[in-house]
Structure 1
Amino acid sequence: MSEATTIRDRAAGAVMGAFVGEALGLGPHWYYDLDEMRRDFGPWISDYTDPRPDRYHAGLKAGQLSQAGYILKLLLRSLVACGGYDEADFCRRLDEELLPLLDGTPVCGPGGYTSQSIRELWRQRVELKLPWGRTGGHADTTEAAERTLALAVRYACEPARLAAAVAGNCVLTQIDDTVVSMTTAYGAVLGMLVRGHPLDADLSARLMALVARGELPFHAVTTGNLQPPRPGEPDPPRAGKFASPDALLTPSYMAAAAADPQVRIEPAWKVSVVYGMPCAIYHILPAVYYLAARFRDDFEAAVLHAVNGGGQNQARAMLAGALVGAQVGLSRIPWRFIDSLEESATLCRLADDLAAQVCA
């Protein structure tokens, strides 16, 4: 297999891994009482499930996508049609294909539920009629990461363009600096995995090398290998807008923990208990990195442990699915997950069309 083919397989695997993870979380989404989740779905969730009629996404069926998947598909369609990221085209699609389906309330819209940041977008854009660029809110969640993973795949071989596209898209809905920083860092990690770098204890050093070259817009606040500056030494070079590189350092700490025999989270789904079940990005990403490092060669184990941890398990499984999908490639995602997705042929075609643009 040529390197170009390998990158294409990993790129398509990242996209389809995200769709699989999102759909796996549909039925058991947002159970914070794990005993209740086990009563409704049994001791181990191993496949797509119908949501209960009194829960989130009621009325949808196993294998369907909720709103996060719907928005990811919108961005994919834009990327494929335009041959790259065109913000105006994507915003037009949101105006025409998403916002008219919403009314500003939670239980509404594609997927039967609309998240906080998208409700705020609806208010800014539809009620207040603000222009794009003034529509972002302060939700500290992962909605932006869930869609911008497509941008990270598309620009995996161009880190500076990746960071600019991800950060620019993020602020359409979320403007908190920490959220933008962590979203951009997740995209940078995904891009490295698509290119074939492992999610290991050395990944952050490779990311910091990109910062040093000015390819990622993070400030470097220490010298090499986090050493203190020496007297009289000039301030380390600063590549850009984010206050510190810490969001780039997180994945290697999680990978080191996953590889350390003295640090065990057993069973692995309890990563949600360790890092937190809530929706905030600072709860979700450490768990995602841990699962994606621990199960780097086992897509099924990664996404199922993400789902079985409860809480915001849909985002956890979606983002972990993208990272592990990028490591194993589409060819090693169990076919039963692909085959049982609604519109699987359409989603696979979009993933492959996007993958064909990567590093082309």
Structure 2
Amino acid sequence: MVSKKERAKGALMGAFIGEALGVGPHWYYDLEEMRAEYGDWIDDYTEPKADRYHGGLEAGEISQAGILLKMMVEHLIENNGYDQAAFCKMMDEDFLPKISGKAMAGPGGYTSQSMRHLWRARVKNELPWDQSAGNADTTEAIERNIGQAIFYAEDLKALSLNITDNTALTQADNLIASLTVAYSSVLAILVQGEKLDPEISKKLMRAVDRGELPFHKVTSDNLNPPAKDNTVKESDLYGEGIFASPDGLLSPSYMARAAEDQDIIIEPAWKASIVYGMPCAIYHMLPAVYYLAARFKDDFEAGVLNALNGGGQNQVRTMLTGALIGAQVGFSRIPARFIKGLKQKDELLNLTDKLVEKCK
């Protein structure tokens, strides 16, 4: 039996490992070029080429996504949970002064679209935080909020409210927020001890029924029609839901079914990136992540390496897959070589242990 602490530690270290694995071969959309640069199968940390994303980092270093996740973890430890005002202050003082409107610059060698927009809003245009979000349709909010998903794994209501608020700081689209909260909820219940299997969405939908997740739902159990006398439940907190539909909570079960269905063949598994899409948008990332994390729920190494070798936005694919599989197998079943090769392993392990001790 894997303990909750083992699962929480596996999730966070799995995310850091996945992010660092992607530093070298990040964003190769031409798979032949990636294979020519790194070989037919990438199986460890690699150094980025000098003229590519993250040039100058060493193999095993985390880049900006990992740095922001680390900052969120430090914030949660220091504040014993999420404090939006304190988080904004930390970003203003400790992160935004280190970046600019330039993409190929900043901590980790590359700055994402949402962070570039945030810099322009906060530093260049001096806008308040409630006017600083941009239109990026990507996963940056998921990446940094892995820390919150773990910290609030037993309190889905607090998780959903805090992550919704944090996402709104950088991304204005409510759909992006709903998918961010959906992934975070999946990770949370994996830390609780569930598996990413075809039943996972039913468990998430029961949390909606209990008023713990802010998704609109009108159907009865198993997505059957509502009763004729049905009135949509309203709670003081959510009313009919912050998010328009629960579809983001339903996707993981379909991906898990695809992984188990012998008539659905994606071979080799890294080609999930082609099936679901190699670009950065959240609607390409999450299906591939859920598929790989369900297919390799007992094999951390196979899961992250297939995520990595699919090219495109492989850094995020590997980071998010690593968190989900790490939560299922536990820290002790992450291969030791991935821990040993991580440049900041002592600091990251220490932070992870501190967060796990504080988890709700």
Q: What is the TM-score of this pair, normalised by structure 1?
A: 0.97
1:299 counterpart = 2:300: yes
1:172 to 2:173 alignment = no
| Corresponding residue of 2:211 | 214
Q: Partner of 2:10 in structure 1?
A: 13
Distance in 1, Cα, partners of 2:240 & 2:334 = 37
Partner deviation per Cα, 1:228-271 (whole Å, 9 max, x = no partner): 23545434666521000000000011011101111121000000
Measure the CA separation in 2 of the matches of 1:80 and 1:210: 26
Equivalent residue number for residue 337 of structure 1: 338
The residue aligned with 2:223 is 226
Residue type at the aligned position of 1:242 = F
Which of 122, 126, 129 is the matching residue for 1:125? 122
Residue type of the alignment partner of 2:97: P
- The answer to whether structure 1 residue 138 and structure 2 residue 125 are counterparts is no
| Separation in 2, partners of 1:43, 1:354 | 37
CA displacement, residues 51-103 of structure 1 (integer Å, 9 cap, x when unaligned): 01121111111000110001111111111111111222222221122111111
- Counterpart of 2:21 in structure 1 is 24
CA distance in 2, matches of 1:118, 1:354: 25
Q: Which amino acid aligns with 2:321?
A: A
Equivalence for 1:57: 54
2:64 maps to which residue? 67
Cross-structure match for 2:113: 116
Write the deviation string for residues 259-289 of structure 1: whole angstroms up to 9, x where unpaired: 1111121000000000000000000000000
8 A contact 2:232–2:240 mirrored in 1: no
- With over 3 angstroms needed to count, the CA separation of the structure-2 counterparts of 1:27 and 1:180, relative to structure 1, is same
**2:144 matched residue in structure 1:** 147
Check the 8 A contact 2:201/2:252 in 1, yes or no: yes
Backbone CA RMSD of aligned residues: 1.2
User: Contact 2:220 / 2:227 at 8 angstroms: preserved in 1?
Assistant: no
CA contact (8 A) 2:307 2:317 kept: yes
Q: Does 1:103 align with 2:128?
A: no
Shift of 1:133: 2.3
| Whole-Å separation in 2 of the counterparts to 1:9 and 1:353 | 13
SS in 1 for 2:97: helix
Is the deviation greater in 32-41 or in 80-89?
80-89
Query: Residue 42 of structure 2 aligns to a residue in which SS?
Result: coil
One-letter code of the match for 2:265? R
2:249 and 2:18 map into 1 onto residues whose CA distance is 23
Compare 163-172 and 188-197 and name the one that shifted more: 163-172
- Residue type at the aligned position of 1:310: G
Where 2:131 maps in the other structure, the secondary structure is coil
**CA distance in 1 between partners of 2:63 and 2:218 (Å):** 40
Which letter maps to 1:223?
S
Q: How many residues of Structure 1 are paired with residues of Structure 2 in the alignment?
A: 356
Take 1:36 and 1:13, find their aligned partners in 2: how far apart are those partners?
A: 32
2:85 aligned with 1:84, yes or no? no
Regions of 4+ moved over 6 Å: none
Structure 1 contact 11–329 (Cα < 8 Å) conserved: yes
- Decide which moves more: 236-245 or 90-99: 236-245
Q: Which amino acid aligns with 2:314?
A: N
Partners of 1:251 and 1:295 lie apart in 2 by 14
Question: Partners in 2 of 1:204 and 1:280 — Cα distance?
Answer: 22
Which stretch of the first structure deviates more once superposed, 158-167 or 83-92?
Answer: 83-92
The CA deviation at 1:296 is: 0.4
1:355 shift after superposition: 0.8
For residue 153 of structure 1, give the secondary structure of its aligned residue in structure 2.
Answer: helix
Between stretches 92-101 and 57-66, larger displacement belongs to 92-101
Partner of 1:45: 42
Return the letter of the residue paired with 2:177: V
Deviates more, 1:287-296 or 1:236-245: 236-245
Matched, 1:354 2:355: yes
* Structure 2 portions without partners, runs of 5+: none
Partner AA of 1:307 in structure 2: L
Aligned counterpart, 1:191: 188
Shift of 1:224: 1.5
Whole-angstrom distance in 2 between the partners of 1:88 and 1:233: 40
Unaligned runs of 5+ in 1: none
Of 84-93 and 252-261, deviating more is 84-93
Is 1:12–1:355's contact at 8 Å kept on the other side of the alignment? yes
For 1:174 and 1:192, the matched residues in 2 are separated by 25
Q: Which amino acid aligns with 2:81?
A: G
Residues 210-243 of structure 1: per-residue CA shift (max 9 Å, x gap): 1001010000032221112354543466652100
